[in-house]
Amino acid sequence: MSRNPNRPVICQVLHSLHIGGAEVLADGLARSLSNHFRFVFVCLDEIGSLGERLMADGFPVGLVNRKTPGIDWKCGFRLAAKLREQKVDVIHAHQYTPFFQSLVSRLSYRRPPIVFTEHGRHFPDSRSAKRVAVNRLLLRQADRCFGVGESVRQALIKNEGLPEDRVEVIYNGVDLKPFAAVRDDNFLRAEMRAELGLDDRDFVVLQVARLNPLKDHLTAVRAIERLVESDQFRSGRRVHLLLAGEGEQRGLIEQVVRDRTLGSHVTLLGARRDVPQLLAASDAFLLSSISEGIPLTLIEAMAAGVPVVSTDVGGIGEVVTDGETGLLAPTGDDARLAAHLESLTDASLRNHLCARAARVAEKRFSLKRMHSKYGRVYRQLAGPTGTTMSKTKRQVVQDTH
């Protein structure tokens, strides 16, 4: 990292630094832009494995120990002390609670403007009059608010009461190179299948998601059960679901797999750091979520040339166009998901979807594009006043689609 002492200080505020979409984005911003800014981190609840790695690499990571899952006013004051200690120029809050605590910190430390990125929404999503009042009371003219997609942007306007002209879109970005590199790599495909105990004829479906109720893995398991019972897969070809990720529902998923005697068709892989290699071994990528922002895992699969089957929730429709770059189904509809997966045994359909999906991933969701946009926002706010830009100037960083 550059040691230029004149770099503006950006403090990224998160729930924790366990590995997840928002956390990986924050880590990537710090590493990509550290020649221009000095990055520090504050976690509300836990530091996490990614936070430990950041500290080992020289990034300051603080913890304020939020005491309650709801409003903890003292947490905001502890956050303010961390901001003052690090002489922070800009706060970048990831998700709503860190944004709220950053707003509360202003009751003690008023200086830094806030960049707020909302990565997704709770399910079910609802409007709170108290949140709307706090948002409007403490939001300043210099602050910048972003959704990772248009659906998230609309939720911020509707349910958080943020003014429409104050909320912009910056799409999440992915380092596409490791994923594009495994596209059509038949040697890697065979190697990974052998390692996983899979045959070359197996139809392999991969799902990468934390084992959380919002990801609805039980619908994915039911879809695989339907495929196991279908005529095509009764004739000798085996279908196999790989679940990469950890979380609180692991025990429940394992029990359901046992109860339905699907042990030879479903494998829980745990947390993995070799997702590109797993994609190389796969015939399809599945996402069965009931709530999403802009899922990075879908973009990764598209870049790797693996056809996508997903539920149509949140911002997924901004990533996947049904019938053109992937196949979509309603939430909880295991029958439709299974039918979509079965249709992907047709090589011509797979090729049609994958060619278009790879182009969309590269054009709209590159990591370099996203980092450039946030870097521009930081530079605009890190001056002595953090003066808000005009609406015309803001449009420079807003994605269009």
Mean pLDDT calculated for residue range 219-240: 91
Q: What is the pLDDT of residues 41-97, one digit of tens each?
A: 999 999 999 999 999 999 999 999 998 776 778 999 999 999 999 999 999 999 999
d(CA 109, CA 79): 9
d(CA 348, CA 353): 9
Cβ-Cβ contacts under 8 Å for 313 (sequence gap 6 or more): 289, 290, 291, 292, 331
Q: What is the pLDDT of residues 193-226, one digit of tens each?
A: 999 999 999 999 999 999 999 999 999 999 999 9
Count of Cβ atoms closer than 10 Å to residue 123 Cβ:
15
Mean pLDDT calculated for residue range 109-124: 88
Q: What is the pLDDT of residues 261-309, one digit of tens each?
A: 999 999 999 999 999 999 999 999 999 999 988 888 999 999 999 999 9
Residues paired with residue 116 on neighbouring β-strands, in sequence order: 93, 145
Query: Per-residue pLDDT for 257 more than 60?
Result: yes
- Which stretch of DSSP H or E encloses residue 311? strand 308-311
Query: Per-residue pLDDT for 2 more than 60?
Result: no
Q: Quote the pTM value.
A: 0.77
